[in-house]
Structure 1
Amino acid sequence: MSIPSAPTPDSQAAPPTALPAGGSSSLADGEWHRMHPLTPLFKGGLVLIIVAGIVISNMRDRIINFFVQQFAPEEAAYTEYPGDPIDWVLANNLILLALLIVVGIVVLFIVVFWVVWRFHQFRITGSHVEVRKGLLFRSQRRAPLDRVQGVNLTRPFPARIIGLAKIEVVGAGTDSNVDLEYLATGKAEAVRADILRLASGARSARLAASGAVPPGAGAYAAGQQGAGVDGSAPMTRRDQLVGSMNAGVSGLIEGVDLADVAPESVVKIPTGRLIGSQLISALLWALLFGGIFVVAMVATFTGMTADGETGPEIVVAMIGLALGMGIPLVIAVVGITWAQISRSLRYSIAPTNDGIRLTFGLLTTVTETLPPGRIFAVSVSQSLLWRPFGWWTVRINRMSGKSASQAQSGTAQQFNTVLPVGKRADVERVLGLILPGITPEELTQLWEHGVIGGQPDDAFRTVPRRAAWRHPLSWKRHGWTLVPGSLLLRKGWLWRQLAIFPLARMQGISIAQGPISRAQAVASMQVHSVTGPVSSTLSALDREDAQALIDEVARAAVNAVTHDHSHRWAEQG
């Protein structure tokens, strides 16, 4: 939540104290720093300039006619003037005046952008990341490091060419994210690493071991103007801009984050598989929109026939409906499919010391780091259309730090997909990253009994036969079981899904009965956790099994929470 607040004067910042060596960036020192000078341009100035250009282009005649009335009243009927308005400016020797007006507008934009940049600052201390901005309407936003759920590094296409990136610190509450936009890509990567290191407790442990002062009172490891830690001369603004542009163009040609994802991605998705899976999924959209189109066609034909319309009139109406409704529906299907494909291209997933590193995106690239202990649920699912190919997708529930409307955006939803499409081996590699400590034998059991199901020694407690009518296709599959550290929910036949809920991060569990369920001695259950694509409900469970679920989860959750220290992962070893 944004809180109006006056910025703290720079003079009140903590005194400089050298940080111990350890890879700290020059920006994670507890001091206030400014964003990249081009930040206002990419935060809205670019759109403003484009809109202003369109408005001026469309209203050029009126604008020039206004100035004509001011300086040449005798030609007030300028709208009658033949030819382009620019010709009138040239014919009346008003070139200098026109150029002065253009220069004045440019200077005004520069001043506004400079003011916006001057009062937009951030700082990183040992306890939080903080951003303040605004001159007339000031706001200050803070993200406690012990509540950080992830750190995303995004490179929108225009900013990527210039070599800029945006850091999004994902908080634990609604609308709690803190954005650092924009920084040079190299600095952004260093700042991201420092935030994750501070959130893990590594900085505190290192300072305590060295006897240094607590974090937050640090000094510049390198000058604010870009001086190197080796004592080299500071780079000028021009050198920084040229270097970042070169790096941006090189990265656009060579690929995304190839050096940033280390070690190499554990899963490689063939482009053909990715495109094919999305085209198959697009078939569902085509069927949906096609059904709407057919209903509209039938309704129009029936109405015109009842009104006694002739054959040629009906044909013309059908053609008009096809052009007016069919083409937009086709464009919608193509747009949705392309958006899904472009967001998943250049996908990679890899383990790092700070958590799981996810990278994806063709033009706009996004790199997300998920620290351990920040994943609240995992699902492995497969649609009926993917079954012949043996394809699966893996999604997670995590705290996004966004409002409900922001969470519906395509990028936010992409953050919940850790494997867009993959075969069994791919799924097992991803689960091995998401569920640390799981053994290959446990993965095999999880796949055979949880994902596939139907084994003779199935441990899942499923729907009783008396309630099979509620799930006629999946009643033998629909159920739950408890394994060390996790609760597993399995359901679906047309759309298979196995949901895994780590007990240490569950918020609670509840059961409910309606009058019909009470008569059948069955109940519904729901796992209370953060919202996301992973379903947390089961219905038509035997009442005794549902009560046993409550008791067993309560005992197992206490033990899991006691032994879970993943939120301070860097202090484990």
Structure 2
Amino acid sequence: MTDPHDADRRGPDSPAARALVRSPLSDGEWQRLHPLTPLLRGGLFLLVIIGVIVANLRERLFELFLPAVTDLPPGVIPPDPVDFILANNLILIAGGGALAVLIVLLVIFRLSWRFHTFRISDDDVEVRSGVLFRTHRRAPLDRVQGVNLTRPMVARLLGLAKLEVVGAGLDSNVKLEYLSAKAAETVRGDILRLASGRRLAERGVAAAPAGSAVQQAADAVAAGIQGIVDGEDFSDAEPESIVRIPFGRLVASRVLSGSTLMLVALIVAIIVAASLSTLWLLFTIVPAFLAFGAYYVRSIARGLRYSIAPSSDGVRLTFGLFTTISEVVPPGRVHAIEVHQPLLWRPFGWWSISVNRLTGRGSTDSSTDPFAAVLPIGTRDDIERVLRILAPALPAEEWSFVFRDGILGPEDDDPYVVTPRRVRLLRPLSWRRNGAVVTEDALFLRRGWVRRTLAIVPLARLQSIGLHQGPLARATRTATLAAHVIAGTVRTSVGALDRDAALTLFGETARATVAAAAGDRSHRWAG
């Protein structure tokens, strides 16, 4: 199938575009993915087949390897498909059938690889796939919100990585699964440079010969094993992280969390149930403890090898011990920032930062955004360093709204519009902290006493501003101010504000948003 627009979209053919790319895979021509791609993409199907075989032969396997856990007399193996094949002398037929299935799978995997191609032009990232039913996905570069690089454990052993180009719409992401690790890193830099609008001086790049498919696979595996031993060593290596998370602090932050309180409550319930001889409740012990153990291991492993640093293409995030995930979030792509502090973290002075950003995922994708928590845990100095690279447009005179008045406040000269004293019963613990203030660059929303929270909404990213009143709010002359941005984990509304003060804040925010959007150039972050 030929794209009718191929002749018009052959790029990158301009000198300025050629100067931006470093990889021969970004030359504007259709390219194939790494030859080992079918092994990883078909791995789930193979695991299902292995699971079916193990399920049918489980009694034989238990008898052979774990005879102590079976109830059968020694040496007795129940009938299974293997006995049927041996009894009817069908060894050659069964072997031939298995070989035929394996050959068919290899042919299918090979065809899927040959028909799965991608192209990076100076306008789009395109992917074509499918043998019988063809699909063609295109991500316009001017709508790119970021590029994720993920290296699952098996892919790391093979020296591979996958790229996900994050688009600006629903179900708009384009995936390149899989490329060699070095090629993926270089291609990601090419995409970000082409998307940034930067125009550098032209410089030549010598493209190394690709070699045969077998040679590419062998080189990738060798590089992957060496990378596991020596650590990552990309030519486009990330700068040094501005935050270091000690292992002890990471573990302590997970222990001092709401999940631990739930675990303690579960243990108390189990003890009470055991004392009352409620045996059915005891069956929840093993799965519950396995679930909590998996959560702690997963969250701690995710925070290991964490790094965040500014780069020429945006804020670069990397995390994960087993599966390493890396993304560059370009400036102007962050729509809301939240700094929060649970009560149990307060004695230690720890905070966390989350963001709302465009993910390009489909409406059926219920998984959480792995990059929502851009800083799992940090001190005040860590928070300030991260906020300065996430919100570089905030001038020095507005930083007092962040820590002094926002996170740690209120002070005596509090600039925030807060819940009036007459309705403090609506927010009995946090009525003095519950408030909002707007500047020329951002809207600040402050909430919570038990869990301190400050949301920062850059006005250039604000889509709309709203006021809401329910029956109780109308009776108490209060209102809820809501900033409408990309959906995510950051809550961008604050309630129980005085109605007249909220109306004034609404008008100021609307006027400041128009001015901020008119002067915003952050979507062309490289000039």
Normalised TM-score (structure 2): 0.88
Q: Which residue of 1 aligns with 2:442?
A: 486
1:366 aligns with 2:325: yes
1:52 aligns with 2:49: yes
Within-5 A mapping of 1:480-519: 480-519=436-475
**Contact kept? 1:7, 1:132, Cα under 8 Å:** no
**Contact kept? 2:460, 2:513, Cα under 8 Å:** yes
Task: Report how far residue 254 of structure 1 moved.
Answer: 3.6
Output the amino acid matched with 1:147: R
CA-to-aligned-CA distance 1:176-195 (integer Å, 9 cap, x gap): 11111111111111111111
Q: 1:325 to 1:442 in 2, by over 3 A?
A: same
How far apart in 2 are the matches of 1:246 and 1:443?
Answer: 49
User: What is the SS of the residue equivalent to 2:147?
Assistant: strand
> Which one of 282, 285, 291 corresponds to residue 259 of structure 2?
285
Q: Which residue of 1 aligns with 2:35?
A: 37
Output the amino acid matched with 1:270: P
CA-to-aligned-CA distance 1:32-88 (integer Å, 9 cap, x gap): 111112222212x11211221232344469xxxxxxxxxxxxxxxxxx999887688
How far apart in 2 are the matches of 1:507 and 1:377?
Answer: 11
1:476 aligns with 2:476: no
1:460 aligns with 2:416: yes
1:346 aligns with 2:346: no
How far apart in 2 are the matches of 1:11 and 1:23?
Answer: 20
User: What is the SS of the residue equivalent to 2:430?
Assistant: coil
> Which one of 265, 281, 293 corresponds to residue 321 of structure 1?
281
How far apart in 1 are the matches of 2:162 and 2:122?
Answer: 21
Tell me whether 93-102 or 539-548 shows the greater mean CA deviation: 93-102
How far apart in 2 are the matches of 1:493 and 1:144?
Answer: 44
Q: Which residue of 1 aligns with 2:67?
A: none
**Contact kept? 1:13, 1:31, Cα under 8 Å:** no
Unaligned runs of 5+ in 1: 1-5, 62-79, 213-220, 222-228, 302-310
Task: Report how far residue 427 of structure 1 moved.
Answer: 0.3
Task: Report how far residue 22 of structure 1 moved.
Answer: 4.4
Q: 1:230 to 1:401 in 2, by over 3 A?
A: closer
Alignment size in residue pairs: 508
Which structure carries more helix by proportion? 1
Output the amino acid matched with 1:340: S
Q: Please report the RMSD computed on the Cα atoms of aligned residues, expressed in angstroms.
A: 3.0
Q: 1:445 to 1:129 in 2, by over 3 A?
A: same
**Contact kept? 2:313, 2:328, Cα under 8 Å:** yes
1:536 aligns with 2:492: yes
Tell me whether 351-360 or 550-559 shows the greater mean CA deviation: 550-559
How far apart in 2 are the matches of 1:289 and 1:57?
Answer: 35
Task: Report how far residue 343 of structure 1 moved.
Answer: 1.3
> Which one of 208, 223, 228 corresponds to residue 247 of structure 1?
223
Unaligned runs of 5+ in 2: 59-75
1:262 aligns with 2:251: no
How far apart in 1 are the matches of 2:188 and 2:251?
Answer: 32
Task: Report how far residue 260 of structure 1 moved.
Answer: 4.9
How far apart in 2 are the matches of 1:520 and 1:88?
Answer: 80
CA-to-aligned-CA distance 1:73-129 (integer Å, 9 cap, x gap): xxxxxxx99988768867987665554333322211110101111111111111111
Q: Which residue of 1 aligns with 2:63?
A: none
CA-to-aligned-CA distance 1:191-218 (integer Å, 9 cap, x gap): 111111111112xx45xx87x9xxxxxx
Normalised TM-score (structure 1): 0.81
Tell me whether 429-438 or 490-499 shows the greater mean CA deviation: 429-438
> Which one of 370, 377, 381 corresponds to residue 421 of structure 1?
377
How far apart in 2 are the matches of 1:137 and 1:467?
Answer: 62
Q: Which residue of 2 aligns with 1:77?
A: none
CA-to-aligned-CA distance 1:257-312 (integer Å, 9 cap, x gap): 6765532111111111111101212xx224335546766887x79xxxxxxxxx9x
How far apart in 2 are the matches of 1:530 and 1:31?
Answer: 34
Output the amino acid matched with 2:386: V
Q: Which residue of 2 aligns with 1:157?
A: 153
How far apart in 1 are the matches of 2:335 and 2:10?
Answer: 40
User: What is the SS of the residue equivalent to 2:412?
Assistant: coil
Output the amino acid matched with 1:137: F
**Contact kept? 1:171, 1:399, Cα under 8 Å:** yes
Task: Report how far residue 357 of structure 1 moved.
Answer: 0.4
User: What is the SS of the residue equivalent to 1:567?
Assistant: coil
Output the amino acid matched with 1:568: R
User: What is the SS of the residue equivalent to 1:264?
Assistant: coil
User: What is the SS of the residue equivalent to 1:27?
Assistant: helix
CA-to-aligned-CA distance 1:496-539 (integer Å, 9 cap, x gap): 00100000110111112223222222111111111111111111
Q: 1:88 to 1:544 in 2, by over 3 A?
A: closer
> Which one of 390, 397, 404 corresponds to residue 356 of structure 2?
397
> Which one of 2, 8, 31 corresponds to residue 3 of structure 2?
8
**Contact kept? 2:394, 2:441, Cα under 8 Å:** no
Decide which structure has the larger Cα Rg and report it.
Answer: 1
Q: Which residue of 1 aligns with 2:406?
A: 450
How far apart in 2 are the matches of 1:508 and 1:9?
Answer: 39
1:551 aligns with 2:470: no
Q: 1:261 to 1:276 in 2, by over 3 A?
A: farther
**Contact kept? 2:401, 2:444, Cα under 8 Å:** no
> What percent of counterpart residues are identical?
46
> Which one of 345, 367, 371 corresponds to residue 409 of structure 1?
367
Q: 1:512 to 1:42 in 2, by over 3 A?
A: same
Q: 1:238 to 1:182 in 2, by over 3 A?
A: same
